[in-house]
Amino acid sequence: MLIRSDDSGFIHPRSSEITPRAAYEGRRDMLKLLAGGMAGAALASWAARDALAQATAPGKLAALQGQKSAVPGAQTMEKLTDYKDATSYNNYYEFGTDKGDPVKNAGTLKTRPWTVEVEGLVKKPGKYGIEDLIKLSAQEERIYRLRCVEGWSMVIPWVGYSLAELIKRVEPQGSAKYVEFVTLADPKTMPFVGSRVLDWPYAEGLRMDEAMHPLTLLTFGMYGEVLPNQNGAPVRIVVPWKYGFKSAKSIVKIRFVEKEPGTAWNKAAAQEYGFYSNVNPNVDHPRWSQATERRIGDGSGLFAKRHKTLMFNGYEPQVGQLYAGMDLKKFY
Ligand SMILES: Nc1nc2c(c(=O)[nH]1)N[C@H]1C(S)=C(S)[C@@H](COP(=O)(O)O)O[C@H]1N2
Ligand SMILES: [Mo]
């Protein structure tokens, strides 16, 4: 299933296996344009570039500001990743498998109305409209590193509040041991849902104590604005000490369960992606090292400066005790 690799060695699915109808149609349109002559094609690529510049400039979306967070670990002196890079270099497989696909394709995502259903082993299950969910607790700005399993990272000012705020309100039952996040899978607006690259909907999960940890952020915005679609609008999770794929985008269900839930990447390649997926420079991915990372914006290719990857992505003082006594080579 996974055959093509980029500079990190990460293997992507072959596009011919997963090309949806929309992509075929796009290609047909492009052929028509080419037949229309170079002028047409040049105009089209100019228009595409213009649209991209629009989509990746800050100040276009609704403001969503948060107070500076006092949660330990939620601030950093590191240079922020440029908004443009954070919004145009994405993983959001529902909209395509290339880093530039989500910004081009996620315009179709309809983020209003939006409901998040809280269900399973809780005393107060319910449906939350997105506007009510945003107002449930005070918004905070948290500057977190996001470290992708592919070997790159960004530093992003996220806006949201601790997931624990929501969890406390819905009162989990004693039998609830894990929290599962189910994300939107809408074949009408998401061109790659239906492709065989992952088992849709994209789902993720956390152990209850991980979900309750104050650093786990229910996230509605970044850079003082609501989330752009490609970054998981209107609500996602950000778990800063875990590889980026644990931070599920565009969540529609939060489910409290007794048993460890299946997760999208674990189902796709169990020997490569475990349930825990803590950032750990001492546990290599079976096909590449996790010792270092490339900071997006620092340049690319062979000469890009690489940073040492830190245990738990640098959040060890805050989260290390959650895993005391666990063999992290076994629970990877
Ligand atoms: N629904 C959904 N959530 C997802 C993904 C995805 O493909 N679909 N990709 C994950 C991966 S691999 C990463 S690295 C982060 C990227 O988040 P960003 O684009 O905001 O940097 O989103 C995660 N959440
Ligand atoms: Mo990732």
41, 176: one domain: no
pLDDT value at 13 more than 90 = no
> Is residue 248 marked as binding?
yes
Centre of ligand 1 to C-alpha 230, Å, is 9
Residue 331 lies in a domain: no
Q: Which residue bears the tokens 């991209």?
A: 52
- CA of 209 from ligand 1 middle (Å) equals 22
- Closest C-alpha to 315, from 107, 146, 85: 146
SS3 category, 17: helix
Q: Do 127 and 45 reside in the same domain of the chain?
A: no
Residue 278: pLDDT band (50, 70, 90) is very high
Q: Which of 8, 33, 54 is the last residue of a domain?
A: 54
Ligand nearest the Cα atom of residue 197 = 1
At 293, the amino acid letter reads: E
Residue 5 has pLDDT above 50, yes or no: no
If asked whether residues 263 and 311 sit together in one domain, one would say: yes
pLDDT-derived band at 23, boundaries 50, 70, 90: very low
Same domain, 49 and 69: no
The predicted pLDDT at position 7 comes to 46
From the CA of 246, the nearest ligand is 1
Q: Is residue 214 part of a domain?
A: yes
How buried is residue 42: exposed, middle or buried, by Cβ count under 10 Å (0-12/13-18/19+)?
exposed
The answer to the question of residue 3 being in a domain is no
The residue among 308 and 26 whose pLDDT is bigger is: 308
Query: 187 preceded by cis ω (within 30°)?
Result: no
Tokens of 290: 């996790």
| Contacting residues for 193 by C-beta, under 8 A, at least 6 apart | 94, 185, 186, 187, 200, 201
Same domain assignment for residues 79 and 26:
no
The answer to whether residues 178 and 317 belong to one domain is yes
Please choose from 56, 88, 92, 142 the residue to mutate so as to test ligand 1's pocket, defined by most ligand atoms within 8 A of CB. Answer: 92
Asked whether residue 200 falls in the same domain as residue 272, the answer is yes
Assess whether 75 and 29 both reside in one domain.
Answer: no
* Across 25-29, 212-216, 269-273, 300-304, least confident range: 25-29
Averaged pLDDT, 64-72? 98
Q: Is 240 in the pocket of ligand 1 (CB under 6 A)?
A: no
Total residues found in the chain within this entry: 332
Question: Are 192 and 210 in a shared domain?
Answer: yes
Q: Please indicate whether residue 249, judged by its CB atom, sits closer than 6 Å to ligand 1.
A: yes
Provide the sign of the torsion angle of the four alpha carbons 168, 174, 176, 178, taken in this order: positive
Q: What's the whole-number average pLDDT of the chain?
A: 89
Confirm if 310 and 290 have CB atoms less than 8 A apart.
no
Model confidence band, residue 28 (pLDDT cutoffs 50, 70, 90): very low
- 70 falls within a domain: yes
14 — pLDDT class (breaks 50, 70, 90): very low
- Is position 47 annotated in a ligand binding site? no
pLDDT score for 307:
94
Atom of ligand 1 lying closest to residue 265 CA: 12
Whole-number Å distance, alpha carbon 238 to ligand 1 midpoint, is 10
Please tell me whether residues 235 and 302 are part of one structural domain.
Answer: yes
Q: Would you state the pLDDT for residue 76?
A: 94
Is 8 part of any domain? no
Domain count, the chain: 2
More confident residue, 128 or 21: 128
Q: Is 101 near ligand 1, meaning CB less than 6 Å away?
A: no
Query: What does the pLDDT read at residue 3?
Result: 37
Nearest CA to 80 out of 12, 128, 9, 144 is that of 144
**CA of 248 relative to ligand 1 center, distance in Å:** 6
**Where do runs of H (alpha helix) occur along the chain?**
15-18, 21-35, 38-55, 83-86, 101-105, 130-135, 163-170, 208-212, 264-268, 316-319
Amino acid identity at 114: W
**Residues 44 and 176 grouped into a single domain:** no
Position 248 pLDDT exceeds 80 = yes
Q: Assess if residue 4 is contained within a domain.
A: no
Is residue 77's pLDDT more than 60? yes
Q: Taking 80 as the threshold, does the pLDDT of residue 280 lie above it?
A: yes
In-domain check, residue 237 = yes
Considering only residues 321 and 22, tell me which one the structure prediction assigns the higher pLDDT: 321
pLDDT score of 44: 66
More confident: 37 or 116: 116
Which pair of tokens denotes residue 208? 């209850």
Domain match, 123 and 196 both = yes
> What per-residue confidence (pLDDT) applies to 299?
78
pLDDT given at position 25: 45
Give the pTM: 0.87
Report residue 146: phi and psi, to 5°.
-115, 120
Q: Which domain holds residue 32?
A: 17-54
Q: Is the pLDDT of residue 315 over 80?
A: yes
| CATH number (domain holding residue 275) | 3.90.420.10
Whether residue 231 is annotated as binding a ligand: the answer is yes
Question: Residue 79: is its pLDDT beyond 90?
Answer: yes
Q: Answer yes or no: is 12 within a domain.
A: no
Query: What are the tens digits of pLDDT across the range 80-105?
Result: 999 999 999 999 999 999 999 999 99
